[in-house]
Amino acid sequence: MQLTHGLYEAFLAVARSGSFTSAARSLGYTQSAVSRQVRSLEEEWGAELFERLPRGVRLTEAGRVLLPHAEAVRDRLAAARAELTALRALDGGTLRLGAFSSATAALVPRAQAAFRKRHPGVVVTRVEGPSAKHLGLVAAGEEDLAVVSPAADAAPPRGVTLHHLLDEPMLVALERGHPCAGRRDVRLAELSGEEWIVGDERLEDTLLRPALAAGLRPRTGLLAHDWIAKLGAVAAGLGVTLVPALAAASVRPDVALVTIHPEDVPYRRICAAAPGAPGAAATAFLSLLRETAEELGAGKPGGTEPEAGKPGAEGPRGGVPEAGKPGAEEPRGGAPEAGKPGTRGA
């Protein structure tokens, strides 16, 4: 049964006014057009809805039964129209956002704060997790937008478009008393004899993958799956590890962060994953992610440089390499996340 809003609109107008002529006048239609619409509705329901009187009309029993349902249809359509208008104007609705953990240290929260300021009526829900998980959720229509670190040699799921945001450099985390802790930068070859603390036995699935491709053969004996344990081991002098630049501000103060020499520094690609036809809220948030990524890549306050006064920070000469340079490969299935307990990294 195909019932249109126009038929209900005509039915309600006639029921309200008790006259086809008055209903036509209020709707801006001809009387014959209103009569045809009511007749179509009666044919659809198989019942007379109005009793035709010498002067005007009145509802039949069937018409009285249909009336509250027609009013409900009118009200629901009006609510839908208002919500859709709010979506287009970004005055309402919900944006379902996903991100891997270290992206939530600087990139995502800065973009989200700017989005909230511009569009306070839009509710943003955010879930953290591995990049591969978020790519699947976007593909399934369960997330509207996700910040991910996809593998360079893997295509996104069908229906998902990747928008490049920046290439994030890695830093090396050292014990404060380490001989290289106060250096402007360090070559990875100088750390070849160090014990590397990693988050996975398979090094190709860690932040070390680009360095492995460049020839680094690290000595690994300490496996730590979460960042509290990993950085605790570094602080105790048990080894060294890689830290993503976006997570630098969250590193504990008794760990020194040192820039890796430009010829050695590993990068990982960070992208926004969106459906082929993103909604208005996702499009607006993506624009803010791009702006924020550009700011972070330019080394502006709150960006990817170590904070002044932190171990390993050298000021302008010893800052982190700019994000946005050509990146190296990431582990297949998405680069490991950093910056929160329970996530794996180098």
Alpha carbons 196 and 343: distance in angstroms, whole number: 17
pLDDT given at position 213: 74
Burial 299-338 (b: 16+ CB within 10 A, else e): beeebbbbeeeebbbbeeebbbbbbbeebbbbbeebbbbb
pLDDT given at position 273: 97
Closest CA to 260 of 185, 310, 332: 185
Closest CA to 147 of 158, 136, 162: 162
pLDDT given at position 89: 73
Alpha carbons 107 and 311: distance in angstroms, whole number: 22
Q: How many CB atoms lie within 10 A of CB 245?
A: 31
List the chain residues with pLDDT less than 50. Answer: 1-3, 299-346
pLDDT given at position 225: 80
Which pTM value belongs to this model? 0.65
Closest CA to 173 of 116, 103, 250: 250
Type of residue at 189:
A
pLDDT given at position 6: 83
pLDDT given at position 86: 72
Ranges assigned E (strand) in 200-275: 219-223, 241-244, 255-259, 267-275
pLDDT given at position 301: 37
pLDDT given at position 4: 62
pLDDT given at position 314: 39
Type of residue at 329:
E
CA torsion, points 39, 40, 42, 43, in degrees to nearest 10?
120
Residue with tokens 């700017």: 114
Torsions phi, psi of 163, nearest 5?
A: -115, 115
